Structure 1
């Protein structure tokens, strides 16, 4: 209970003085004093309820703030996980696309990618009347290499030949594995004369290649057949003509190139 002020003390003294018991205002003052106390008690209860309510509101606000902060942290965590997942998914898609368009052993374009590029370059060559050459490349006596030295050495030969070919072709040419020991060179914006200089340089570079086999070294050669796309044919026809030229190079002694009709 709070302390009394001077007026309240004076009222208390007046009500407790026996000489004032018969005063006509004593009863009225006594009732007024009781009403005053009742009002004070009511105000104090209201104040306590108000303080309690404010405390509850404050606690609730802190609880809501804490819950909001927790949910915000959870959302940030989910966002980070989502970002990592999106990055992993993007990397996976790139890896899957790479696996679907490139040869697993040598890392160069596979037949699928070669076919796509052949279609695109053929359309472009015909639209703008530009030259386009295709070259079939085959490693000579590759079956004998596998039979005599084993498939591991054969794989090494494939990778070494690919390394030489990629070093000798031009930046805008495409080298891909057509199948087995057979490769295809796609040479856009290239006439027969220009292509001959490139493939002859490539043939010589492969002929100078030596593949290590234990303490020995293995010589490798390639045969090549080349065809320039005709205005009235599709890329399949040009490849068939290059393949016929390749067979002719094989029959004429290998380690050489032949031009299609």
Structure 2
């Protein structure tokens, strides 16, 4: 079917509107036919009218037809987040299906605007080979080079995308690490390195979620005459005293225990314990360790005497309930002069 007149005239009219002659960059890019090639292809090809929204073929479909854009445009979508490639007049696509037959399309070809295409099937292309072998050979050489260059470009884009993904993953890891560090900081007392009240609350929430709220004891520890130390020796000495208390609590904390600075000169120690004797043994150790450091007679002081309230806690209630029991015992210890441990039965509070 000879259609040179209509197709070639339409093509040349389009080219004239877009610049008057075939741009050299298109030929160098090997994406477009030369005017001579277009005339040859139009002599045997079939004109096909296409409309916006049409899909010529989809990725993975087998095809044996080559197309040349006469008027309008074609979008090739290669998927995998790659940029859609738009072809204009004289540019061709689908040549691998024509050359090797039943080739799986590597892109989806869709029509963005109304236009016209040339369709070439194997039989028509064979006539071109017999008629103009030299020109067809030159076209094939360029077509193969274009396939190679396209594959190389695809590989480069995929490499860049992989690099971008690796960079994004590195950024995510760094951000996650920063968030983790931030989470640790907001749950940690800056002066002593112990958990702060937020950290204690988070620890208890984790234990409750894991069903590990039974078999616990609570100590509330308060520094005796701490204000006097600050007044007599300054806040730096006071800070060192608090750090000494923190070190004692840290030394007796086992796996699963948590030592906490609740604020000011008040500390808490949550330990695994099932009996009063276990809790009191830990409390007495904290008390006698502080007394031993006091007897060393450092000036300015490294430690002060401590008042401790102790109790067992159960799975019912929350930290505020347990705190109330231990605080009742701590109040009695302070009232009786400090430097002692008092016990509070968790089943009752004094009126």
TM-score between the two structures when normalised by the length of structure 1: 0.69
Contact 1:119 1:235 in 2 (8 A): no
> Alpha-carbon deviations, 1:13-44, whole Å to 9, x = none?
xxxxxxxxxxxxxxxxxxxxxxxxxxxxx999
CA 1:216–1:113: 2 relative to 1, 3 Å = closer
> Alpha-carbon deviations, 1:89-121, whole Å to 9, x = none?
221231232133222322222212323444676
Of the candidates 162, 165, 186, which is equivalent to residue 79 of structure 1? Answer: 165
Match of 2:153 in 1: 67
CA 1:231–1:169: 2 relative to 1, 3 Å = closer
Match of 1:166, SS state, is: helix
Unaligned runs of 5+ in 1: 1-41
Match of 1:57 in 2: 143
Contact 2:233 2:300 in 1 (8 A): no
Of the candidates 261, 272, 276, which is equivalent to residue 188 of structure 1? Answer: 272
Match of 1:251 in 2: 335
Of the candidates 229, 251, 256, which is equivalent to residue 145 of structure 1? Answer: 229
CA 1:232–1:65: 2 relative to 1, 3 Å = closer
Contact 2:188 2:194 in 1 (8 A): yes
Match of 1:11 in 2: none
> Alpha-carbon deviations, 1:195-249, whole Å to 9, x = none?
1111111111122337xxx985534221101122379865433321211221221
Match of 1:29 in 2: none
Contact 2:279 2:312 in 1 (8 A): no
Mapping of 1:168-187 within 5 angstroms?
168-187=252-271
Higher mean displacement: 139-148 or 226-235? 226-235
How far does residue 182 in structure 1 lie from its aligned partner after superposition?
0.4
Of the candidates 244, 247, 252, which is equivalent to residue 160 of structure 1? Answer: 244
CA 1:218–1:162: 2 relative to 1, 3 Å = closer
Aligned-partner Cα distance in 2 for 1:122–1:235: 11
Aligned-partner Cα distance in 2 for 1:182–1:191: 24
How far does residue 136 in structure 1 lie from its aligned partner after superposition?
0.7
| Structure in which a larger fraction of residues adopt helix | 1
How far does residue 173 in structure 1 lie from its aligned partner after superposition?
2.4
Contact 1:122 1:235 in 2 (8 A): no
Match of 1:104 in 2: 190
Match of 1:94 in 2: 180
Of the candidates 285, 293, 296, which is equivalent to residue 209 of structure 1? Answer: 293
Match of 1:229 in 2: 313
Unaligned runs of 5+ in 2: 1-127, 346-351
Contact 1:225 1:244 in 2 (8 A): yes
Aligned-partner Cα distance in 1 for 2:163–2:326: 58
TM-score between the two structures when normalised by the length of structure 2: 0.53
Match of 1:132 in 2: 216
What count of residue pairs does the alignment treat as equivalent?
A: 214
How far does residue 74 in structure 1 lie from its aligned partner after superposition?
0.8
Contact 1:226 1:260 in 2 (8 A): yes
How far does residue 85 in structure 1 lie from its aligned partner after superposition?
1.7
Match of 2:132, SS state, is: helix
Match of 1:208, SS state, is: helix
1:218 maps onto 2:327 in alignment: no
Larger radius of gyration between Structure 1 and Structure 2: 1
Higher RCO (C-alpha 8 Å, min separation 6): 1
Q: Give the RMSD, CA atoms, in angstroms.
A: 3.2
Contact 1:227 1:239 in 2 (8 A): no
